[in-house]
A and B are shown apart, each in its own frame.
Chain A
């Protein structure tokens, strides 16, 4: 059964550094998402992406964040200048079409020191 994959599984970075989190959605899916979960808190929506553009974003998704689908398979989340409060588990999800459920990757744990 096809699955969403994410790399790396754990990323440690220094405050102020740029990080890129990578996701490979399920191959025939059209809608892509990033969520995050700070330790002990709820899962929060960051951004959705469809047809090569952002379709929705939350207040969390400020100018420090960007997403890209650089080729036909990868979907990336970039944080330009990480802050301590960006430490969280970041989940990528993909969806085959409207009305269908979202399927999640295993997550990337980002630790900002």
Chain B
């Protein structure tokens, strides 16, 4: 079954601390993984996709096929990073996105 799991509903860290938002997936083929972010009262925005291998707003994510994970990391959190973060998977035979439940990230001053 295709599934995305984000085990943490809420993650609260202090400004300047490292952040890691976990994402695990279940998919039998070659998925494409995404991180979307939703700031308060704003739309879902693409943050990262694994095939781009880029860093956006200081965030990085590496696809680990052995552990079926795509964790999102940032070495030094900033207050403006507070938002909902969603991990999503797109299969290689269709184009719908399968979503995790989301993690609410709160950065404390």
Contact = CB atoms under 8 A, between A and B. Distances in A.
Contact of B97 (A41, A45, A98, A105): A45
A31 B95 contact: yes
Given A31-B95, A35-B97, A58-B96, A101 B44 contact: no
Contacts of A106: 42-43
Chain A, interface SS category: strand
Contacts, number: 46
Question: Interface size for chain B: under 10, 10 to 19, 20 to 34, or 35 or more residues?
Answer: 10 to 19
A48 B96 contact: yes
B101 A42 contact: yes
Question: Interface size for chain A: under 10, 10 to 19, 20 to 34, or 35 or more residues?
Answer: 20 to 34
Contacts of A55: 95
Contacts of A48: 94-96
B100 to A, nearest CB: 7
